[in-house]
Structure 1
Amino acid sequence: MQGGHGGHQEHHRHERGGHLFQKLFGSKLVVTLALLSAIAMISMTVIDYAFLSGVKQRFHSDVELARFLGFFFALGSAITIIIKLFLSGRLVKKFGVIRALLVLPMLLLIVSIAIIISNYVSVTGFTVFILFGILMMVSEVFNYALHNPVFLAMFQPLDLHRRLQGHTTIKGLTDPFSLGVAGIILYYLFPPGGAQQSDLVFISYLFLASVVVWILTLLFVRKHYFQTLKSAIYNRFLGTTQVQCNDSESVAILRDKLVSSYPEDVIYALELMRQSGVDNIHEVLQQQISSDSEVVRGYAVKLIKEQECRQLLPDLLNLIRTESSVPVRRKAIIAYCRLAEEAHDVIIDLLGSTDLNLRSAAICGLIETGGIEEIVLSGESLLALVGSEDELEKLAAINIISDLKIRKFYRPLLRFFDDDSLTVRKAVISAAGVLGSERLLPLC
């Protein structure tokens, strides 16, 4: 009986501990990010201490010290701006967020190894100071230009509540605590008054160990990040502009989503790929224009046009010839005309189609992008629709002019303001608003 009661108490304590853990961090991803942030904070503090100790030994007057530090940090800020403008985004886009997070610790690892090697060769104290200066510069520049922005991006797969909770916990609790731990370590390891030359040797080993732990921690971060990202993508609560999914692991998750039987899932994955600038997206779109879903095929054609995938022009032409869905075929016609250097006979033949949707698409496409012959032919077809007595053809003409958005095409619309059909009059007023021609304002 007593043993059972003790087991119940133990279970209750475990539940309370789990509840506290959940309340503080919210998810395992936040836990690993908190650990990563703590290690980075301790490592940066060690660098600051070593560098400033070396500076104190080199410069004995306040004027020299202020001049050097002012120049050093001004140079660091200038380099940070340059890297942030021209390099950071490209690194993240090319390598993904996890590998981008690895850049700073790897650079610090290389410099710290160089410092340790210098201890075994006959180098001057000035050389060691220069190496610590490089270490400090790398730390400052890449921390602000790359590491901090990418670190914040790691929260994006989380829902809004957990994201805010994670930010608050790490910046408000973990980082200050880590800074205090780093201060205590340095205080007890080194005497007051700053580190001496012999102390800098020990600091280099201490820093090397912290960087190795930093890199190893990234392995755990990577695991939980992609687990969280996969969950976010599969539940479709992640905004398409929130996260970059161009690294191999993220792309693999999105490719799994593309085989879903739900069109919404496929479109969601395609949009994430487009937004993230995934390489060779034309290969994915080539597969999706053969999808069983009409909605997916139409969306794939839309992306082919937006991404200007001219290598898929033969596929679009084949789709125009064989597609059973008129809306998809219409999109393919417009996309083909937009991307092709010259109109194909298949498109020109559609000017005589009995299907108004296909004829309208051909007219729009050829007027927008055709040569002089195609423009003349499509213009004649448009004027034939304008002069028609059939209400549907009148509406088709109005919609074509509205879609073209060419202000000088206002004249054919004038005749429709007095049309007997209320539907036609409403359509022409709407088209006039799209064109924005002053000549149409008095008639609206």
Structure 2
Amino acid sequence: MKANRFITRTLLIRENEWELVNRLFTFEFFQGISIAIFFYCSISLFLEHLPTNALAYAFILSAVLLWICGAVYSRLEHRFETKHLILMVVGINAALILFFRIGLLFDEPVWFYYLMLAGFNVAYLLNNLEFWGSAALIFDVRQSKRLFSIISAGDIPAKLVGFLASGFLGKLIGQEPLLWIAFGSLIVSIYFYRRLIATGAFEKKEHKKEHEEEHMNPTAEGALHLVRENPLIRQAALISFFSYSAFILLNFLFFGYVKEASHNESENLAIYIAVFLAGSRAITLLFKLMVTNRLADNLGIRTSLLITPILLFAMSLIVLPASMQNSLLTVFYAFATITITIDVLRAAIQSPVLLAAMQPLPVHERLSGHTIIKGITDPFAFFFIGTLLAIFFFVYPEVDYRVMSLLLFVLIIGWIVSVLRFGRIYNQTLQKAIRDRSIQEREISITDRESLQIMQDKIARGEPGEAVLALNLAKDLPAETRKEFLQSAVENLSPFVQLKAVVLARQWNMKEFLPNLRILASSASDYQVLTATIAALSEMDESFNSATFLRHLNPDVVAATIAQSIKRQDASQSFATELLQSWVKSEDHSLRQKAAEIIGDAKSPPLLDMLRVLMNDSDVHVKEAAILAAGKQKTMEAAAELLGYIRFAPWQSKVIDALQSNGAASVQQVRQFIITCDDETLQKKLILLLGRIGGKSATDALDMLADEIPSMTDTLFRAMSHSGFTADQHNNSKYLRMCRDYLNSGAYIAYIIRYLENKKADTTVIRAFESEMQMLRDRLMYLFSFIYDRVSMAKVKAGFELGSRESISNALEIVSITTARELSKDFIALFEDTSYQQKCSLLEGTHPEPRLSEAVVADEVFRDLHHQYHSWTKSVVMYFLNKDIPSTVKKSIGVFRFSKDPLLKQTAEWLIGKSTLA
């Protein structure tokens, strides 16, 4: 059946979803008629033959049977595929109705009516489990928000028809024969279920047999574990418990009053019940079709879930004072209004939105959550309310509306609190749905003396690896203990352990260990240990005299001493500088290389002239050491010197690394170089360098470059993201404007793609425009991360990279939660996993469709009218649409002969040559 465009747009149904939604709706419609008639017969016969107080015990019996059936359903699901299980559930429900119809042919004992009402609740549970379980498998998170209320709305007109027919036919033929209609309706639903299977929806979602366990509902133990471990399911279960408990309590009070109002006359009672149930379902139908899907999509999950309890809270404030004044008629009308309200809003908003909120969970947990709510939590609500009522009537045989009002008030408060917590948990779960979990490192703490002694012995006499491990564990120990450990390490015969002790003493700034370091400086035989000790003493001991080591025979020791002496500006600085100067001029390239390394360690501006000499050295090793040393200077002068060598290909990567080491001091020099540079590849490298440098100066420079060289937007956004750029009050409007411009460009390109698809254009041309759309999507995600939440947008990017329909849906849901509605609406329309026909249908309201032709498309691309197109797209359009390009447009192609892009240049020359020959 072809979809009516007005209906699909009104109900927010995509064109490719229509057939599936239509068949699910019809399947649920006939099941709904059966369930409605079954409930009508069960409740009417129960109230006709038993007092209202007996409902409490029927609730308790229902709870027990529901728990048993939920467990059986879970086990069956582990044995059968979903599509077969659904057929089995329909058969079980038909058998239940047939059993009770045959039972009513005989004289029924009292327990039969208890069993019949409880049997209805079992049938209703099984119907919910199979229907919502299948819907959860078929639809993703964004579809669920739009469509759950639509597909489940088939249940509402069905119940409307069922209740009205029951009320009027019941007067003519009696209530018992109505069960034959219920039975027949279930049989008819099987035909429509076969049509649903034919769509292949279940085949797309179900895995092979070895993977089916992941899609099964949990056992009782698994359910309890899931409730403990999964906060989203736990909170959803709490919401369901409070809302369903309030629903059961209100229905008990209302049906009890209706029974009294009808004076126990079965015909009047049946009409009362039929009118009430039919009226509430009529209102629910309107809400579901016209309001619910828009609420969830526009207001979000938490706000939608709050509507029902907040409204009931306000209404309960009216009931509570009235019940205290014993105004029975007022209380009844108030309870009747609340009952209809909760019945409508639970069915129209609460249930579909709550189940839609489960969609970010993995399939197994999602199905488990549905089963926990319907098969465990809801029966517990029956048991809870039934037990409370039974205890109440045991103590006080009459209904006290004051107590009932207070109980209702408490349930609504619990409901509201649960929803408020649920909103935060839902957002966290949604983001977690498309990211990997991180593993926390464990810390080890040893404090007992015996263990410390063992560690100290290991440090003093153990293998180097064991000793170093024990030293690392000492960082959080008391200073005295750490000193003892370091002393033991110095006594270890391994230079590696001694070196580690010196490094840790310097790192921990252990001044109390200075005497030990002085002894080590005079006795160390290993040059690495000695140079590390000199560095530690120079930094930690102001009285340390390094002059002795300037005449050491080992050049590494001398080099370390020169660097520390110049850095400290101590008494030996003059001699150290002269010694360094002699090394710079030495014919021994190894000494010149050490001189460069010393300058790097010393970080002294007066040494820059020596560094310039070494950067021009003929020896490559000296030159490399000098470039690295320049990067350690942290000065603008060093950055300027480094940029002088960046165009030399052999040194480019080294210079860029050195500029990064130079940090913020490089930023302004690099920015000016980027602006004047005519090498696009080098520009990109330096832009990314600014991103790696980071900090405010780098982000400010990138922000300015975004205005100065817009042709580098993609590279700039990537660098800005890497640097942690966040828009502020000064530039926020600029990036919001960019978002709107890109969304407008995306809409125009979407119309072009639809036009090309309708014209059966070459797929290469269509793919070129699709790549432009992908580029726009990536730019918009960067912009959203600058304006809104960086972490959330990282999850969005990951979702798109995964590429599955579900991950993309989750990503779009995060966009809708995180960004402004005016932006997210167009973004979702452009990048949802739908056809371009559907995308354009969604865009028509805000982006008028342009009048397109091949000439208009070519002119758009060549002149970059709405978007700056990639050279590849221009080349493709030029090649494949050349026959349709008018001469007026071809005139604009001439400029491409001078393009730096070789493909664009050659294509332009080819087309111009072809035109000349023609």
TM-score by length of 2: 0.29
What is the rounded CA distance, in whole Å, between the counterparts of 1:151 and 1:261 in structure 2?
23
Counterpart code for 1:29: L
1:274/1:29 CA distance change after superposition, 3 Å: closer
What is the rounded CA distance, in whole Å, between the counterparts of 2:786 and 2:415 in structure 1?
26
1:366/1:115 CA distance change after superposition, 3 Å: farther
What is the rounded CA distance, in whole Å, between the counterparts of 1:209 and 1:262 in structure 2?
40
What is the rounded CA distance, in whole Å, between the counterparts of 1:367 and 1:305 in structure 2?
27
Partner of 1:256: 790
Per-residue Cα deviation, 1:396-429 (whole angstroms, up to 9, x for no partner)? 99xxxxxxxxxxxxxxxxxxxxxxxxxxxxxxxx
Percent of aligned pairs sharing the same letter? 23
Q: Is the 8 A contact 1:108 1:139 kept in 2?
A: yes
Q: Is the 8 A contact 2:226 2:233 kept in 1?
A: no
Counterpart code for 2:356: A
Partner of 1:280: 822
Counterpart code for 2:423: R
1:132/1:161 CA distance change after superposition, 3 Å: same
Partner of 1:428: none
Counterpart code for 2:256: S
Partner of 2:874: 358
Q: Which of residues 203, 216, 241 is equivalent to 2:417?
A: 216
Partner of 1:59: 262
What is the rounded CA distance, in whole Å, between the counterparts of 2:268 and 2:318 in structure 1?
28
- Cα distance, 1:163 vs. partner? 1.4
What is the rounded CA distance, in whole Å, between the counterparts of 1:270 and 1:208 in structure 2?
38
Q: Which of residues 358, 362, 365 is equivalent to 1:162?
A: 365
1:363/1:67 CA distance change after superposition, 3 Å: farther
What is the rounded CA distance, in whole Å, between the counterparts of 2:883 and 2:324 in structure 1?
75
Per-residue Cα deviation, 1:228-287 (whole angstroms, up to 9, x for no partner)? 122114349xxxxxxxxxxxxx999984246649965677587446788961227997xx
Q: How many residues align?
A: 307
Q: Which of residues 403, 406, 424 is equivalent to 1:202?
A: 403
- Cα distance, 1:69 vs. partner? 1.3
Q: Which of residues 324, 329, 340 is equivalent to 1:126?
A: 329
What is the rounded CA distance, in whole Å, between the counterparts of 1:29 and 1:261 in structure 2?
19
Determine helix, strand or coil for the equivalent of 1:358: helix
Q: Which of residues 41, 50, 55 is equivalent to 2:253?
A: 50
Counterpart code for 2:282: A
Q: Is the 8 A contact 2:319 2:334 kept in 1?
A: yes
1:252/1:71 CA distance change after superposition, 3 Å: farther
Q: Is the 8 A contact 1:363 1:379 kept in 2?
A: no
Partner of 2:283: 79
1:93/1:364 CA distance change after superposition, 3 Å: farther
Q: Is the 8 A contact 2:304 2:353 kept in 1?
A: yes
Q: Is the 8 A contact 1:282 1:312 kept in 2?
A: no
Determine helix, strand or coil for the equivalent of 2:241: helix
Counterpart code for 2:268: E
Q: Is the 8 A contact 1:367 1:379 kept in 2?
A: no
Per-residue Cα deviation, 1:128-164 (whole angstroms, up to 9, x for no partner)? 2111110110011011111000111121121112112
What is the rounded CA distance, in whole Å, between the counterparts of 1:264 and 1:126 in structure 2?
59
What is the rounded CA distance, in whole Å, between the counterparts of 2:846 and 2:342 in structure 1?
44
1:378/1:116 CA distance change after superposition, 3 Å: same
Q: Which of residues 220, 227, 233 is equivalent to 2:428?
A: 227
Per-residue Cα deviation, 1:269-310 (whole angstroms, up to 9, x for no partner)? 87446788961227997xxxxxxxxxx9xxxxxx99897599
2:237 corresponds to 1:34: yes
What is the rounded CA distance, in whole Å, between the counterparts of 1:213 and 1:110 in structure 2?
14
Q: Which of residues 279, 297, 302 is equivalent to 1:93?
A: 297
Counterpart code for 1:102: L
Counterpart code for 2:823: I
Q: Which has the higher contact order (CA 8 A, sep 6+)?
A: 1
Question: CA-atom RMSD, angstroms?
Answer: 5.0
Counterpart code for 1:140: D
What is the rounded CA distance, in whole Å, between the counterparts of 1:262 and 1:215 in structure 2?
30
Partner of 1:321: none
Counterpart code for 2:381: S
Counterpart code for 2:790: D
What is the rounded CA distance, in whole Å, between the counterparts of 2:375 and 2:811 in structure 1?
37
Q: Is the 8 A contact 1:26 1:162 kept in 2?
A: no
Partner of 1:102: 306
Counterpart code for 1:279: R
2:376 corresponds to 1:173: yes
1:310/1:113 CA distance change after superposition, 3 Å: closer
What is the rounded CA distance, in whole Å, between the counterparts of 1:200 and 1:136 in structure 2?
14
2:688 corresponds to 1:146: no
1:223/1:251 CA distance change after superposition, 3 Å: farther
Structure 2 unaligned spans of 5+: 1-220, 438-783, 802-807, 832-837, 894-905, 912-918
Q: Is the 8 A contact 1:155 1:163 kept in 2?
A: yes
1:118/1:380 CA distance change after superposition, 3 Å: same
1:66/1:92 CA distance change after superposition, 3 Å: same
Q: Is the 8 A contact 1:37 1:175 kept in 2?
A: yes
What is the rounded CA distance, in whole Å, between the counterparts of 1:39 and 1:344 in structure 2?
61
Determine helix, strand or coil for the equivalent of 1:234: coil
Q: Is the 8 A contact 1:80 1:145 kept in 2?
A: yes
- Cα distance, 1:169 vs. partner? 2.4
Determine helix, strand or coil for the equivalent of 1:68: helix
Partner of 1:435: none
Counterpart code for 2:286: I
1:366/1:105 CA distance change after superposition, 3 Å: farther
What is the rounded CA distance, in whole Å, between the counterparts of 1:337 and 1:363 in structure 2?
22
Determine helix, strand or coil for the equivalent of 1:190: helix
Partner of 2:43: none
Q: Which of residues 182, 189, 212 is equivalent to 2:392?
A: 189
Partner of 1:136: 339
Determine helix, strand or coil for the equivalent of 1:56: helix
Structure 1 unaligned spans of 5+: 1-17, 237-249, 286-295, 297-302, 314-334, 369-373, 383-391, 398-444
- Cα distance, 1:73 vs. partner? 0.9
What is the rounded CA distance, in whole Å, between the counterparts of 2:787 and 2:234 in structure 1?
23
Counterpart code for 1:111: M
